[in-house]
Amino acid sequence: MSKSYNIYSRKQRWKLLLFAIALGIVGVSLAYTKTLVDKISSEERKKVEIWADAVQKRSALVNYTSRLFNKLQKGERGKVELYLEATKYLVRPDVHEVSFALNVLNDNTTVPVILTNSEGEITSYRNLIFPPGAAKDEVLRVELANMAAQYDPIEIVYYGNSSVFLYYRDSRLFSELKTTFDDLQQSFISDLILNAASSPLILLDSASNEIIEAGNVDSIVFNDEEALSMKLDEMMEQHAPLRIEINGQSAMVYYEDSFLLTQLKYYPLAQLGIIGLFVMIAYLLFSTARKAEQNQVWVGMSKETAHQLGTPLSSMIGWVELLKEEPKTAQIALELEKDVSRLQVVTERFSKIGSQPELVLVDLCKLLRNTIDYFELRSGKNVTFEIEMPDELMVVLNESLFEWVIENLIKNALDAMDGVGTIKTVVSDQDHRVLIDITDSGKGIVPGDFKTIFEPGFTSKKRGWGLGLSLSKRIVKEYHQGKIYVLKSVLGSGSTFRISLRK
């Protein structure tokens, strides 16, 4: 096995090794990130559970405060009703003992009340606060309007047809408690949202399906029922909603993973994608630069070879002409002239590598027959050539360079058969392409080398240069916009090379 074969074999092994290492790095990175995401998700879930438990307890406290507030409100109402009964008692004509009623009226030190006559004129008031410097009549007028807006006045009828009206509102203590309670409830809802950290959260009324509060959620969801339904479905897919009670009403808390956690899930993929894109671009640039460098080497080497062959070839042509003049060597000169002409063709081929060759309409079948005839005369009786092709098939190509490709394939076939076997050439005329299959009965090619054999320097022969198939690929692909590849190969049975050309 040649050194060049070992080089490409090692190259393939290095590629596989580097690919395996890259897969390992990707796998470890994804596994570590998944572990990290799972830990963060678990911690986030625990925080939500702890927060939900605190919400339940605080909700119970709010509900208890609400019930207490309702009791206080009933107590305030009871005081007003007792005050009303005492007032009614005092205006009755048959009452002689008024001390108890007066005590009841005096005991009202919290509930603000205003008494007016039937014309709406204020006759008395109690438990009102007058700010310093404020006009008393203005304060009474404002208070009367506020009381009328809060509760309907109570009519007190006396002396048959005369009436007075009792206006009242909640006591200052009760109002302060109510304000405190409202602040507590609002604080509870705000904490509900803020304590959810960065997780998107929606607090939904169970009865009306209206949003009570939301955090870290796009405002578009609030005005679109379909968008809201989709958002709630997405949240339920991640976490089961929590049921809580606020002010005696059932509510549902929907939440999903935070934006940070979602980013962590997809960050490794994005990072690996960017790194992969960078590596791919770098590889393409490097490959393009390497290919350009190889092309320059090919061009320089080919032109130098043509130049080096040109000088001795001119001398050989002169010697052939001298040999023709002697009768004894005339026949030898004719045969030698054929080989010199062949050498001229080779020199011409090398000179065309690197420059844009001229493509003309050529009879492909005639070209193939001439090339095969040339090798058939020089291959011995143990090699059989078989041909299946039309009588004529016109294709646009460079005759000199394409003939070189066929020669390389036939030479390789002869080497693979060790001078014994069959070489079959089949030409297929299709709609838009022409297929040329050259099959030998030689040693065959390892499947892993189907592409490698076209690399420069690759050869399985001890004394080969590994340039024939590489040159052939360059001629077919770059100069004729065609394809050349191993169609099939069986070890010990032979190989088939296919050339595909545009018509």
Mean pLDDT computed over every residue of the chain = 79
Give the span between the Cα atoms of 171 and 152, in whole angstroms: 16
User: What Rg do the C-alpha atoms of the chain give, in angstroms?
Assistant: 52
* Per-residue pLDDT tens digits of the chain, which is 503 residues long: 444 455 656 777 887 888 888 888 888 888 888 888 788 777 777 776 666 666 666 667 767 777 776 777 676 666 665 555 555 545 555 544 434 434 444 555 667 888 888 888 888 887 788 888 888 888 888 888 888 888 788 777 766 667 778 787 777 766 776 777 677 666 665 665 555 556 777 878 887 788 877 777 777 777 788 888 888 888 888 878 878 776 667 888 888 877 777 777 777 778 788 888 888 898 889 888 887 777 777 677 777 777 788 778 888 888 888 888 888 888 888 888 888 887 887 787 777 776 677 899 999 999 999 999 989 888 888 999 999 999 999 999 999 889 999 999 999 999 889 889 999 999 999 888 999 999 999 999 988 888 888 887 667 666 656 678 888 998 899 889 999 999 999 998 999 999 999 87
CATH superfamily of 357-502: Histidine kinase-like ATPase, C-terminal domain (3.30.565.10)
Q: Where in the chain is the domain with CATH 3.30.565.10?
A: 357-502
Q: Residue 41: name the closest of 237, 264, 192 by CA.
A: 264
Q: Residue 287: name the closest of 455, 447, 449 by CA.
A: 455
Give the span between the Cα atoms of 266 and 30, in whole angstroms: 10
Structure tokens at 413: 């076939």
Q: Express each pLDDT in 449-495 by its tens digit.
A: 888 888 876 676 666 566 788 889 988 998 899 999 999 999 989 99
β-sheet with 113-117: strand ranges across: 122-126, 113-117, 162-168, 154-158
Q: Express each pLDDT in 173-218 by its tens digit.
A: 667 767 776 776 666 656 655 555 567 778 788 877 888 777 777 7
